[in-house]
Each structure stands twice: as structure tokens, then as C-alpha cells.
Structure 1
Amino acid sequence: MNRECMTSKEMQGRERGAEGFPPAAKMALFLIFRRFAGLSFKLEHLPKAAEGRTTAADLRAAVPALLRHRYLVSVRNSWGERLFYIPQEIADMIQGEWMQPKLEPISGSEIKLIREAKRGLALDLFRSLVWIAKYGIPVTAKGGIYQRALVKLSGQTALQPEDVTGLELSYPHQETIPASTAVVLDLLLDMELIIQAPKAWQLNMQAITFWLEQNVDGMNAELYRRVQTKYVPAEAGLQHLVYALSSPFFVPGEWYSIEMLIQWLQEERLLRLDPPEEWRRWLWGWIEAMCGFGWLELGCHNAGGRAFRWIEQPRRLGLAQDALHRDEDGETAESGFCVQPDFEIIVPPEVSFACRWELEAISECIYADRMSVYRLTRESIAEGIRLGRSWREALRQLQRSSSGVPDNVALALEEWGRELGEPGELRVFPRLDGSLSKLPELGGPNGIPQSGGNGSGWIFCGEDRSSYRLFDTGLEREELFPGLDQVPAIWLKTARSYHSSTAREMVSQAMKWHVMLALGIKGEMYEYLPAGLQGGADWQVTGKLFSPNSSEGRDAVLTPENWEIMRLLLPEIVAEDRNGAIAGNPSAGKPNMLL
């Protein structure tokens, strides 16, 4: 079965939440996504996405509906060109619903693990924030970070430079800052958890409070969204690789062949049959980064190829207050840690980072991973007092967030506290007392960077949209089909015979608009997509001829004598509104989900 017919049938069953959404627009969205992924394009680029009976004119005619339903965003660049692109959340939706890579899992007994998932990007960011809160990040006169501070900060993360080297990232002070530390700082800057200041980087405690109150699922979803947007190059093929790799079809814990995934992408024409070698290198680099971020593992199977499995696949959810753990009554459900008689504190993975923040002020972190271990000592309580926490506060925190504090531990805390005294007035380690309701958007509305905003980090490999501005003005018919007012209406309405010179004008117009011609040949109507005109008085046209019941055209060279009647087939979406402006972007609102 050909790809176009199969896709049409799949799309017909996906109309939940978008009653009346034109089927032609659905097909157009699929073809535009396949050709451009999330990259911007002009209307004149649409012939690259056309396929079979779906012409570039059909794609143009679908753009107003896609804008109206917010499956496309319309912008202008700094020199006034109008561009369109599919927002990331819509691209994720298309990949998840329409283009599932149906690969068979590989038995784990056939796989040799060659790269494990590390403890996770969320924990690395947390440990980095704790270190910054305790020691700060002073900067040199030129804005660089002191080397001693860099070494200490780099030691807080499980992420290592070799985990992200394959992404080939560019960033300031690249000669002194390890790539792994640059990624951590970039994400902290991007979410405005830290802010660059002239003498030292500062913590944004409101944003940090909101961030640390989220559960790990919400954190991973937000981090993956930002990593995907910021670190994937502006190449449609590479974007399709990333979208396909993160498909919800893949079951966490199951192994899948990377080579089979690449083959599927090529069969679906989402990836070139001969991708450049640098693309292959980048793909391995991306998978290695996913391992370093704690989401993926890489293996080698007995047949000699490579395989991957998701350990924690970031869910496609927004980071918001409803991402918190909540119990059946709607209250926030906080999981507690366990204080042992030997003064060790066992912290399960479900304990929130907000709870761990206070542990960092009063105890020593022995082991930080999915399961973490802290230890209470006289020295840690002394450090807590220096940071602004009294022994009474430490005991209350332990009692509030655990299943109970053993008597010997409570007595020791009191004894140490009385010996060490009370904290001074200066609160060195800040408390979580912010009131922020959400984090800054990634680059502003629809992924367009906001001028002057801090939340953009210092690494960006994707398409530069810093000069783009939303352009909500409706599409005029002249933008879709230039010269429509000058074309005789009879050319569009009725199939009839024409003089050879008029027929040539109609063929020429069809080529300009990339529309089909309806041709009556020996009493039967055909569709013809002209591609080239040759000759003078005895002219001929080359193109694709489609019989009534076939989606596959055949190359055909025709002369005016080969047909009896003809007309221009302007796509219906435009033909219905010939006398007015075509609807454009609404200025607000969420996309109407057609899936």
C-alpha cells in the first residue's frame, strides 16, 4: 500500500476535538512535518513537501486552516519575510500519533550494555544549585568563572564532558568551562534559576522554590523539552531522528535496534538514504547525551548492531502546579526519608528536592543517586549553624519530613547544638520561601525568543528565531495565489475547449500556482500536474498524469491536441473564499487538538 493512501486512512480516525477540520489540511500538516519537521519555511518552499496528488497548491490552500487551528505559527523575520513553522508541541503530537516506529523489541539476553544511564539531569542541577547556594560563583573582570570554582562545581555532577562532547556545543569561555558544566549552567540560566550579575552569579529563589517543589516526572519533561529545543541542530532529518527516538511507542525497559529505527525513518522518507557522516556522529552523540542525562541506555546486540532502551522516558507534560505529587484528596503528598540510629538518613527517590534542600544545610551528603544517603555529624550541625540553621530547626525538619527521629539522634543534636551555640543573624544558605507560579517560558510564546529576556541560557544549536516576531494578520488570497484576480473565472469553473494560445496561458498559470489541470481525454477526465513548457506555436508540456482512480501519476508529454477540454483545479479551501481574505492566526488560545 502506498504511503499516501495509508496515511489518509490513519488520519481519518483522528478527529477528536477538532470537528470539521478539513481532511486536506490534515494531509498538508503531515507532508509539511515530514519535509520541514519544526523548521520554518516560506510559502514558496512548499513544492519541496508536495507528493502525489497533493500539490504545492493544496499545501498553500491548507495553510489558513492550519493557522486558524494553531498547528502552524506565522512570523516575520527582521527583513520582513513571512515564515511559518510547526510548534514543538504539535510536532511531538504528530510524531506520537501519526508516525509511530513500530519496531519489535530485542530480548535483553542478546544485549551487552555499553553505556549506562547516569543518575539524572534533575539531580545534577539540584546538586549544582546547592553548591552555588553555599559557595557562590564569583566571576573575573572579563566575566569568566574562576577556575577553582569551576573545578568544585564540576565535581557536583555525574554528567561528564564526554557525555555531551558529541553534541558539538558552542558557548562562551569554551576553552575553560567543561562541556558538562556548560550544559548545567546553561539550563539553570535558561530557567532563570540563576542570574548572571557583574561580580557573581545570583540565585533566583522564587524560581528555585517553584522548581524544587516539582516531582521528578515534571522536571524531566521540562528538561527534555528545553534540551530538545536548544541542542538539536536546525536540520529536519536530525529533528526527525530525535522525535522518533522519543516516540511514546517505545516501552521503557525494552531494547530496540538503532539501525532498524534509522531504516524506518528512511522508509518513511523522514531521513535521507545517504545521510552525511556528521549526522551519524551527531546521532551517537545525542544518544550518549541521553545516557548522561539519565534517560537512556546504550547496548550492543549479538548481531553486531547497537540498541537503546529508555530508563526514564520524559513524559510530554507541561511543568505546572498540577505536576506535583498529590493524594486522592487533592493535597500535596510528600514522601519522607528515614533517619537511622547510626545517624544516616536514607532518602528514597520520591522525596522532593524541596525537602532535600534543607537536608543539605544540616547534614553531609554521602551518596547522591536515585537513592541518596546523608549523615548527621557534629561537623554537619556546625556547618548548618554557620549557614543559618539552629539545632532546633534541624530537629524540627527531621521530625516533619521523616517517619521518626531515634532518641539517640535527637539527644545528640541537642547536645551538639548547645555546645556550638546559635547561628548569627546572617542567613548564608537561603530558604525556599518564594511565590513564583511558573518558570519562564522557553524562549517566549511559541518558542520565539523575547528580546531582553534572561531565560535563554548561553547555548543554542537550533534555528535562530531571535529576530522573529509573531505576525497574526490574515493571509490574503494574493499571498496564496498571486494574480488570482486577473485570472478569468471561467478557467476555474468550467471544463471546456480553448484555443491553443489560451490553453498555453492556462498551463503556464497552473505551473506558477503548482495546481492541477483537469483534462478531458477521449471522454474521460484526468488530472495533470504540468512541470515544463517547450516550443513555440507547436508547443508541448511535460508533467504527471493521474487517472481518476490512481494516486500514482505517470510521466506524460502532452500537446493541446491530446485533450478536448480543460480547466484549472484551484484547491477547494481557497475557492470557497475567492472574494475575501483567508482567515489567519488568532492572537490567543491553545491549539484545537485534532488527534
Structure 2
Amino acid sequence: MTRNDRGTSDINAELQRLSGDACKVLKRICAAHADHPFQEGKEDSLRPFDMTRAEFRLALSELWREGWLVAVRKIEGSRLFFIPSGRWEAAQNHFFPIAPSALNSDGIHLSAQAGSGLTGELFRALLFTAEEGLPLTAKGAVHKKFVNLLAAMLQLNEGQLQKMGLRSPYPDDYPLPAILAIDLLLHLGLLERSQQAFSLAVPTVENWLCLDDSEMFTLLLNAVSRRYGRRTAADRHFRCLIARPEYIPGQWYSLKDTIGWMEAQGLSAPGDRASLMKASVAWLNGLAGFGWCEVGVTAGESPCFRWTSVKPPAEKPVRKDGQAAERIIVQPDLEVLVPEDTPYRLRWSLACFAELVQCDCMWSFRLTRERLERASGRGMSPQEIITWLDRCAKNGLPGEVRAVLGQWSRDIGRTSLAETLVLSCRNEQDADLIAGHPRLQGSLERLGPRHFGVNRDQANLVRKELASAGMAPLEGRPSRSDEAPSDSGLFRLSSPPSAESETQFALPSDPAAGLWYGDDYASALPPEMPPMLASPKELWPDSADVPSMWIKDRRRYHASTARLIMEQAMKWGTKVRLTMEERTCEFIPSRILPGAWKVSGYLLGQSGETSQERELSEEDWDKIQLVVPSFPAVPPSAPGGGCGMMR
């Protein structure tokens, strides 16, 4: 069992421990709002008709106390509630189980094929950022030139992305494929921002490259589902629903049947079917562009979809140590083929000295002299690369490839360019004095009558000696090399991982982070602790004025007293227990009707009977009792302690 499986199992166990009322309320919140926040004061619309206000508030309090509801406060002071990520998916899976029926593939025509894959596209974006950088303008936006260069490397479909509801703050002429890639890299914490540029967060990128395909897919699907698409509860339900393991990769499913099932379960409104169908088709086309699914049309012109093999199976096989492929295939024509299960850290090592040609199912690279020269300039010697290829190649390095790489390596490094500082003197007399300085011999190289070349590693010594001699140098315009990509730590050849060096990838602490701030901003606000209410007396301050016999026993009272008990139940938001025609039943009063005294409310059914709205007068019952809900014992370890209730 993986760590994610254990986490899901723990959440399901916590769900089983909730009371019946809490489960009933959680199901209604889940259906109505998904994981979107709702405003405090509007929650009463979620109360089941057969639940009293007091029971409802206790149920909400239990959900808050147990972590199934999170409360945050906005800047202006209003409070929001929402089901947190992870628990919302578990709640939908628990309360709304589904067993979709697969379609026969005969007669289905493809309308959107699967693209090359979002994981590979982000790999290209990481490589581009490491090599070219993503400099920012004075206003903090990425330079359009670099956005266009990045977009030219990507294969994402612009038209499909336009229908996915990306809320980009950039002008319309900025290509969406590059905008989406940068946004996702920022959201995953793979990029960090400085004043001049976005650059790679090296430790996080290294951890990301240690993930396998299924782990990357899960993280990316969650990010895409939260950040893009229409922001309605029905759309969120659809995106979460089709990602569940019941939708098996390779099987075709009807979009019409899926939305029809959602309507039957109360996850979408029948009147919204047309708009939800349109938005869902656009969403599925976007997923197809990411290489995750295919979209088709049945013989009856009804849209359908199926997941590709990128989606992991329900039972993920446990990979044994060393099972991941560490072998690549080097062809005599200098092409390098990478099998599907090759670790991404090994693919990154290849990208450091070879040209990435294709990143579909079978990735391919090409060995070129230009890339080898560039790698050598980053500190990877040609001989080191040849040794690494020989070790990682499945059948060793072909002789033709070894000969070509050997020839290139002999030509690389015959000349070199190095940055140097130029020391300029005002006249030749000063230059002669500096040339004869005994402690500067070996630190300077005379380039002309008034100029010297200074190695950068000797610059501080030269400054110190010239200052001591009364000739402190004026500093010229600083080099702009600080704006170049500073990700040299990632340009190295991978070595086999060890158990001691294993690290875990962790998402940033701000779940709404990205190129723009996501709509799930509420989850980034600090959560509030549940309030403390030690006893029912704090909830009902007038409880001392209510006769205890009203609560303890069901009795026959004078008509005026019976009315007072019914009105007290309305005031407290609770119910009464009645004896009607020698049967015991419960009634939730809602309002006193005008005219002759009558009360309207819900008469709760028993033993399979249906609850119904009724109007009662004092002649309709024989005995009456005020029912007060029990206050559950709260463990000392529960956050906030006491019996927290939402006011």
C-alpha cells in the first residue's frame, strides 16, 4: 500500500466515524458546493427538512471540529466555509458511488485525439527555462519574446486551451500554451521568482524528476482541475467524477449518461444540462490535448470519451527496487530511444547533452555536436558523457557512435572564451607603475599601453593592492551575467538513486499560487479554530426558565401550556415528540399561522413512512414533550475542545 493509499484509507475511516446527522449534512454540502466556499449565514438552505435547526448546527459543528469543514475569514471580516481538498474527493466517492457502463466501440468516430502529453510539455518548459531563462519586464510580466520562444517548443493546441477557461492576466496575443506551462510550473513550485526573472527551483525540480508517470499525472490532474475550467459546483463534480477509478482507461463512456447520472444524484440541475454538456466537451478536448483522453462521437451523434493509458489503473502495481528501467537505446544513426518507464532524472541527463526530438510515448533524443559542445561548456566533459552513455545504453555504445563522439571530443576545447575584467589607466605612467607592482605579478596581463586583463578570481586582490597604492579603481557598469539562467546545478549526469538519498516531492504551501492567483484562494487563508461552547446553557441562555418536566416526560398539558412548549421548540430550533391517535411521532414546528392558533411544520415519518408538511392545532395531539438534542462528548484531543457550534 502506497502512502497515498494509506492517506485515503485514513480519510475513509474518519468518514465512517461521523454521526448520521453529520453525514447527511456533509452529503448536502458536497452536492451543492463541491469544494467551493460558501458564505456564513447561507448554510441554513442546506438543512434537510427533517432535521431541526439545533441538530443541524450540531452536525455543522461536528464537521468543523472533525476537519470536514474548514472556516476562514476574509479581509473584510466575513467568514467562509468549505470542504478541504482531499476530503471533498473522499466525500463525493463515499456518498455518490457510481458504476458507469462502458460503450461498445463499434461506430465511434474520434473527434479529438490524444496529444503528446502534458508531462513531456512541462519537461520541455523546464529545459527551456534552464537554458534560456524567463526574464521579466519592469512591470513583472514575462518578456513576450521569451513567451513566444517557449510556445514554439510546445505542441499544446491553442484552440483547445481557449475553451478551458484559463483566466490569464496576459494580453490575448500571448500564446496560451506557454502561459499554461509557466502557470503550472509556478503552481507546482518548480519555478521561483526574483526581481529579474523566473528561474528553476533546483531542489524542487530534482524531487519532481524523481517521480514516476502516475505520480506526476495525479499531481497535474489535481492542479488542472482546480485552476482551469468553469467555476461551478457541477463542473467540479464532473471533473472529479470522471477521474475516479471506476472510469477505466481504454473504455468508452457516454457523456450524456454521465451528466444524466449527476442530475439524478443532485450534483447538477436538469435545467443546466445544455451548458454543462458544452463545458464538459470543452474540458474533455483540453484533456485530450494533454494526452490524457480521447473524445469521440457515437453513431447516434452523442459525445463520448475514454481515458488513455496515462491514467493509472485502480490497483497500482508495487514497483520493486531497481525495477525502473535504467537502460536507453543508442542507435547507430545517433538517435537515442527512451522506453516509457525510464526515470525522468535519466531523461534530464540526456537532455543536458542531446537534443530532445520527441516526448510522446517513446521519447527520442539526437546526439549533436552543438549539444555536446554546449554541455562541455557547462562542465560535462565529452569523455564523461561517453562513459555515461556506455553505462546506460542497453547494448552498450555502438562503435559508429563511439567513433563520432570521439572525433567531436577531440575538437572540443581546442580554443576557449573566458570572461575577464579590463583595468584601464588614465595614462601610461600609472600603467607602468602597476605593471611593476611586486604583489600584482601573475594577477594582471598587459593588453596595451594603458590596459590590463584581470582574472575574476583575482579581482579582489587587485582592488585591495591598488587601493593601498592610492589608485583605487572606479567600478564600471556591472555585468549582466546575473540575469542569465543560474540553474547550472541541474546540468549534470544522473547516478543510480540510493535509499538514503530518497526525497519526497511536496507542493508549495499556497495552493492558489501560479502565474495568476487561483479561485481556490480560500484554502490559502489561515483556518479558524472551532469556537468553544461548554454546555447547552450557553446556546440557550433562557434554558433555566423552561420547566424541566417539559423535557423529561411526555404529558398531557393544558392547551395554553402545550402552545408554549411548541413555541419554545420553535425558539430553540428543536422539535417536539407527540402522541397522536395513540402513536408516537415527532414534529418540527416552523411557524405559527395567523388566525386561529395553528402551527405549520414537518411531521416526521417512522418505520418507512414519508415525512410530510402538516398544519396542527392543539386538538391534534394528546401528549407533548420538548425534545432537546444530545450534546456529544468531545475528546480532549479535539481542536478547540468543548462543544463548538456555529452561531
- Whether TM exceeds 0.5 here: the answer is yes
**Aligned match of 1:270:** 267
SS where residue 286 of structure 1 aligns?
A: helix
Q: How does 1:197-208 map to 2 (within 5 A)?
A: 197-208=194-205
User: C-alpha displacement at 1:272, in angstroms?
Assistant: 0.8
> Alignment partner for residue 639 of structure 2, among 580, 586, 592?
586
SS where residue 488 of structure 2 aligns?
A: coil
Structure 2 distance, partners of 1:191, 1:292, is 20
Matched, 1:418 2:410: yes
Structure 1 distance, partners of 2:530, 2:336, is 59
Which amino acid counterpart does residue 189 of structure 1 have in structure 2? L
Q: How does 1:367-516 map to 2 (within 5 A)?
A: 367-403=358-394, 404-421=396-413, 430-432=488-490, 437-441=503-507, 443-444=509-510, 456-465=513-522, 468-476=525-533, 483=541, 485=543, 488=546, 489-511=548-570, 514-516=573-575
**Aligned match of 1:522:** 581
Distance change (3 Å), C-alpha of 1:21 and 1:97: closer
Structure 1 distance, partners of 2:222, 2:486, is 33
Q: How does 1:285-296 map to 2 (within 5 A)?
A: 285-296=282-293
The answer to whether the Cα contact below 8 Å between 1:387 and 1:429 also exists between their aligned partners in 2 is no
**Aligned match of 1:127:** 124
**Aligned match of 1:251:** 248
Structure 1 distance, partners of 2:344, 2:227, is 25
User: C-alpha displacement at 1:524, in angstroms?
Assistant: 0.8
> Alignment partner for residue 357 of structure 1, among 321, 342, 348?
348
Matched, 1:152 2:149: yes
SS where residue 159 of structure 2 aligns?
A: helix
Q: Write the deviation string for residues 186-242 of structure 1: whole angstroms up to 9, x where unpaired.
A: 111112211222222211111111111111111111111222222255432222222
What is the root-mean-square deviation in Å for CA atoms of aligned residues?
3.4
Structure 2 distance, partners of 1:189, 1:299, is 33
> Alignment partner for residue 168 of structure 2, among 166, 171, 191?
171
Q: TM-score, normalised by structure 2?
A: 0.77
Structure 1 distance, partners of 2:637, 2:551, is 24
Q: Which has the higher contact order (CA 8 A, sep 6+)?
A: 1
Q: Write the deviation string for residues 12-66 of structure 1: whole angstroms up to 9, x where unpaired.
A: xx98577754344333332332223212346643432333534554332223443
Structure 2 distance, partners of 1:72, 1:200, is 39
Distance change (3 Å), C-alpha of 1:467 and 1:15: closer
> Alignment partner for residue 216 of structure 2, among 211, 216, 219?
219
> Alignment partner for residue 58 of structure 1, among 40, 55, 58?
55
**Aligned match of 1:535:** 594
Which amino acid counterpart does residue 362 of structure 1 have in structure 2? F
SS where residue 589 of structure 2 aligns?
A: strand
Distance change (3 Å), C-alpha of 1:152 and 1:43: closer
Which amino acid counterpart does residue 405 of structure 2 have in structure 1? L
Structure 1 distance, partners of 2:287, 2:604, is 46
Which amino acid counterpart does residue 133 of structure 2 have in structure 1? G
Distance change (3 Å), C-alpha of 1:196 and 1:47: same
Structure 1 distance, partners of 2:537, 2:163, is 42
**Aligned match of 2:618:** 560
SS where residue 397 of structure 2 aligns?
A: coil
Distance change (3 Å), C-alpha of 1:470 and 1:16: closer
User: C-alpha displacement at 1:101, in angstroms?
Assistant: 2.6
User: C-alpha displacement at 1:144, in angstroms?
Assistant: 2.7
Select the structure of larger CA radius of gyration: 2
Structure 2 distance, partners of 1:342, 1:479, is 84
Q: Write the deviation string for residues 91-146 of structure 1: whole angstroms up to 9, x where unpaired.
A: 21122333123221101113111111212211111111101111111222222333
User: C-alpha displacement at 1:554, in angstroms?
Assistant: 1.9
The answer to whether the Cα contact below 8 Å between 1:169 and 1:461 also exists between their aligned partners in 2 is no
Which amino acid counterpart does residue 297 of structure 2 have in structure 1? C
Q: Write the deviation string for residues 507-551 of structure 1: whole angstroms up to 9, x where unpaired.
A: 444445553332221211122233332125x22122222232235
SS where residue 591 of structure 2 aligns?
A: strand
SS where residue 155 of structure 1 aligns?
A: helix
**Aligned match of 2:191:** 194
**Aligned match of 1:344:** 335
Distance change (3 Å), C-alpha of 1:394 and 1:50: same
User: C-alpha displacement at 1:154, in angstroms?
Assistant: 0.7
Distance change (3 Å), C-alpha of 1:135 and 1:215: same
Structure 1 distance, partners of 2:226, 2:400, is 51
Structure 2 distance, partners of 1:549, 1:345, is 71
User: C-alpha displacement at 1:351, in angstroms?
Assistant: 1.3
Structure 2 distance, partners of 1:312, 1:492, is 62
Structure 2 distance, partners of 1:548, 1:360, is 70
Distance change (3 Å), C-alpha of 1:270 and 1:54: farther
The answer to whether the Cα contact below 8 Å between 1:335 and 1:352 also exists between their aligned partners in 2 is yes
The answer to whether the Cα contact below 8 Å between 1:295 and 1:314 also exists between their aligned partners in 2 is yes
SS where residue 362 of structure 1 aligns?
A: coil
Q: Larger deviation: 265-274 or 335-344?
A: 335-344
Q: Larger deviation: 47-56 or 299-308?
A: 47-56
The answer to whether the Cα contact below 8 Å between 1:72 and 1:87 also exists between their aligned partners in 2 is yes
Q: Larger deviation: 130-139 or 81-90?
A: 81-90
Which amino acid counterpart does residue 441 of structure 1 have in structure 2? L
Q: Larger deviation: 419-428 or 216-225?
A: 419-428
Q: Larger deviation: 481-490 or 262-271?
A: 481-490
Which amino acid counterpart does residue 168 of structure 1 have in structure 2? G
User: C-alpha displacement at 1:378, in angstroms?
Assistant: 2.5
**Fraction of identical pairs, as percent:** 25
Q: Larger deviation: 24-33 or 87-96?
A: 24-33
SS where residue 261 of structure 1 aligns?
A: helix
Distance change (3 Å), C-alpha of 1:58 and 1:236: farther
Structure 2 distance, partners of 1:83, 1:410, is 64
Which blocks of at least 5 consecutive residues in structure 1 are unaligned?
1-13, 318-322, 450-455, 588-595
Matched, 1:136 2:133: yes
The answer to whether the Cα contact below 8 Å between 2:249 and 2:313 also exists between their aligned partners in 1 is no
Distance change (3 Å), C-alpha of 1:498 and 1:425: farther
Structure 1 distance, partners of 2:557, 2:152, is 79
Distance change (3 Å), C-alpha of 1:258 and 1:102: same
User: C-alpha displacement at 1:502, in angstroms?
Assistant: 4.4
Distance change (3 Å), C-alpha of 1:18 and 1:547: closer
Give the number of equivalent residue pairs.
553
